[in-house]
């Protein structure tokens, strides 16, 4: 029986992307080698927060928790969840009637049967071609005025045909220039480009779950560089 190192699990709702607002059970796994400076889930990898022995739970136990919540979607996130073999977890979730949604940077092979893949590419670990093709939607983090064009150049036409969410990096969420660039891109390019936001952070939705297990706040800690 495979076990997974779990940073937190909770029942809330999807706060971004195509499935925005839907009831969802979150499984946040430990570990990410990418280490983005603005990571909003650094509690999964930053040495200041990662415990010596991360709590581990079996695929079956996690799937039962997800099914018991009543949510029809489990969002497997991190950290970077694809550093783990998700085969058994996604099988157990499917057996219990819960769809597996993945949040990934796309830089590592995806092991498991996913029903939905949100790929948010990162410059320090570019996505694999096979993952770009398998993605259901894309989420481009807009860090500065050039971010969108740089990503369009980097990723090319392979990302066409699926939603491409443009989201301000959270510490820049009130930056008028970033919001203007997102707005202009959607107006000028239209098609699959969509203006996005992390609505759950406004609601503090994660904090409303009584089973919440969390060591760092979502939104990062600018004093520690993320
Ligand atoms: Fe890893 Fe994602 Fe955080 Fe970057 S934003 S350090 S890829 S978990």
Over residues 65-97, the pLDDT tens digits come to 999 999 999 999 999 999 999 999 999 999 999
In short, whether 34's Cβ falls inside 6 Å of ligand 1 is: yes
pLDDT given at position 212: 62
Give the contacts of 61 (CB within 8 A, at least 6 positions apart).
none
Sheet of 116-119, strand order: 56-58, 3-13, 23-29, 73-77, 99-104, 116-119, 137-142, 164-168, 193-195
In short, whether 105's Cβ falls inside 6 Å of ligand 1 is: yes
Residue 47 has pLDDT above 90, yes or no: no
Report d(CA 222, CA 130) in Å as an integer: 34
* Cβ neighbours, 10 Å, residue 6: 19
Closest atom of ligand 1 to 44 CA is 8
Which amino acid residue places its CA nearest to atom 7 of ligand 1?
A: 34
Q: pLDDT band for 219, please (50, 70, 90 cuts).
A: low
Closest atom of ligand 1 to 33 CA is 1
Report d(CA 148, CA 169) in Å as an integer: 12
pLDDT given at position 84: 98
pLDDT given at position 1: 86
Report the separation in Å between the CA atom of 29 and the middle of ligand 1, taken as the mean of its atom positions: 12
In short, whether 127's Cβ falls inside 6 Å of ligand 1 is: no
Q: Residue 220, preceding bond cis, omega within 30 degrees? A: no
Report the separation in Å between the CA atom of 105 and the middle of ligand 1, taken as the mean of its atom positions: 7
In short, whether 114's Cβ falls inside 6 Å of ligand 1 is: no
Q: pLDDT band for 43, please (50, 70, 90 cuts).
A: confident
Higher pLDDT, 8 or 179: 179
Phi, psi of 173 (to 5 degrees): -65, -20
**Residue environment code for 76-86, b if the CB has 16+ CB neighbours within 10 A, otherwise e:** bbbbbbbbbeb
Mean residue pLDDT across the chain: 92
Residue 215 has pLDDT above 60, yes or no: no
Residue 60 has pLDDT above 90, yes or no: yes
Residue 157 has pLDDT above 80, yes or no: yes
pTM of the model: 0.94
Using one digit for the tens of pLDDT, what is the confidence trace for 160-192? 999 999 999 988 999 999 999 999 999 999 899
Q: What is the mean pLDDT of residues 8-34?
A: 95
């Amino acid at each position: 029986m495979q076990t997974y190192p779990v940073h937190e699990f909770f029942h809330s709702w999807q706060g971004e992307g195509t499935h925005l607002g839907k009831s969802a059970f979150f499984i946040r796994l430990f570990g990410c080698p990418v280490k983005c400076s603005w990571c909003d889930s650094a509690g999964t990898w930053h040495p200041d927060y990662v415990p010596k022995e991360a709590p581990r739970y079996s695929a079956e136990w996690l799937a039962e928790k997800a099914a018991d919540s009543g949510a029809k979607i489990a969002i497997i996130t991190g950290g970077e969840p694809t550093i783990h073999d998700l085969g058994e977890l996604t099988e157990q979730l499917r057996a219990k009637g819960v769809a597996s949604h993945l949040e990934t940077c796309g830089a590592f092979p995806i092991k498991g049967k996913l029903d939905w893949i949100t790929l948010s590419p990162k410059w320090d670990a570019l996505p694999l071609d096979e993952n770009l093709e398998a993605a259901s939607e894309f989420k481009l983090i807009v860090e500065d005025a050039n971010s969108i064009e740089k990503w369009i150049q980097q990723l090319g036409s392979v990302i066409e045909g699926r939603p491409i969410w443009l989201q301000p990096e959270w510490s820049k969420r009130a930056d008028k220039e970033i919001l203007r660039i997102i707005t202009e891109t959607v107006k000028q390019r239209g098609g699959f480009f969509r203006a996005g936001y992390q609505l759950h952070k406004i609601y503090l939705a994660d904090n409303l779950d009584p089973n919440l297990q969390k060591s760092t706040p979502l939104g990062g800690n600018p004093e520690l560089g993320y």
